[in-house]
Amino acid sequence: MSGLKSLYQPFAKLLASRKLYLSKSLQFSSLFKQELAHSLDFVRYTTLELCCNEIKMNNVAGNIAELGVYKGDFAKRVNQLFPNKKLYLFDTFEGFDQKDISTEKQNSFSSGEQDFSDTSVELVLNKMKYRSNCIIKKGFFPESATDVDDKFCFVSIDADLYEPILAGLKFFYPKLEPKGYIFVHDFNNDLYKGARKAVLEFCAENNIGYLPIPDSGGSAIITK
């Protein structure tokens, strides 16, 4: 055992030089233990699960949502963690809208040229363990949410761009139940500088705190 410990630090330094890191979380009973052993986004998924545990322990009411679903890999885990909650899935399922791309380019937030159109509603739904809980909201946000009158205990905002992220915060935060959480992806991602601006702007205007976490996308967490 001591031999293995002596190898840990040089091996960890070698991985770090290649921007890979060894990490060990709290010893809690993870639903994704096998998946997390090989995950490149260990911090994001374990933080999600810990927040889910807090929501359940505090009996937080409300349903769940994701804005910016792409192929549904994060939504799949959210769906699995909340088997008794409706999951709203907001996305164009066709990539970025030209209106949002224009804002990105005008403000030098990002190139807006990343292609996220290689997905579909059926591809996403096929990944869901509790498919019947899913409510697809396809279209341009926030217009796609005009008929949604619900409360939420957990929301993931992974829309990448300034306009939809800010619109998502304005829509979901008032509907967030006390002790609920909003995850905003790409907060500290230099490829999508508008994500950080949207969070800072919204939080400053509403006197709300946020917590950055060191996951692969540099997420920020907002709670109420």
Domain ranges of the chain: 25-223
pLDDT at position 2, please?
43
Residue at token pair 């929501």? 55
Cα–Cα distances in angstroms (integers) from residue 49 to residues 25, 46, 133, in the given order: 12, 5, 19
Angle between helices 98-107 and 193-206 (to 10 degrees): 90
Mean pLDDT for the stretch of residues 88-115? 94
Mean pLDDT for the stretch of residues 85-89? 98
Mean pLDDT for the stretch of residues 181-187? 98
With a CB cutoff of 8 Å and minimum separation 6, the contacts of 155 are 64, 65, 66, 67, 168, 172, 176, 180, 181, 182, 183
Does position 76 have pLDDT exceeding 90, yes or no? yes
| Residues 75 and 171 sit within 8 Å (Cβ to Cβ) | no
Does position 3 have pLDDT exceeding 60, yes or no? no
We find that the CATH architecture of domain 25-223 is 3-Layer(aba) Sandwich (3.40)
pLDDT bin (cut points 50, 70, 90) of residue 63 is very high
Regarding beta strands 152-157 and 87-91, do their DSSP bridges make them parallel or antiparallel, or are they unpaired? unpaired
With a CB cutoff of 8 Å and minimum separation 6, the contacts of 24 are none
With a CB cutoff of 8 Å and minimum separation 6, the contacts of 128 are 72, 75, 76, 79, 87, 134
Give the chain's mean pLDDT. Answer: 90
pLDDT at position 42, please?
82
pLDDT bin (cut points 50, 70, 90) of residue 136 is very high
pLDDT bin (cut points 50, 70, 90) of residue 25 is low
CA distance 54 to 79: 16
